[in-house]
Structure 1
């Protein structure tokens, strides 16, 4: 496992997002998961337009 892995999860369905989050946490509880409900929010997080940087490298984007 890559140390300090951050995952940006883009999902508009709360139930699906929770299922993915639970599954990933079973693999490695240290994975940082940032959940965004739409593409604009996800792009803002990646472009650091959010008030504070939420996601750090290395990262994986799941749509």
Structure 2
């Protein structure tokens, strides 16, 4: 994941900062508890495609 992209991309729901989870290939919004998949290097920034984080995953 390009670090320059991380600086400009934001959560589509709350417009907050996203963190990259390299292990799961996801962009994570801790505020909304959503993880957006990164497929073939392209972030899928659609709320219906996002995975809900469990309480243990939220940092």
Q: By the TM > 0.5 criterion, same fold?
A: no
TM-score between the two structures when normalised by the length of structure 2: 0.31
TM-score with structure 1 setting the length: 0.30
**Whose strand proportion is higher, 1 or 2?**
2
- Rg larger for: 1
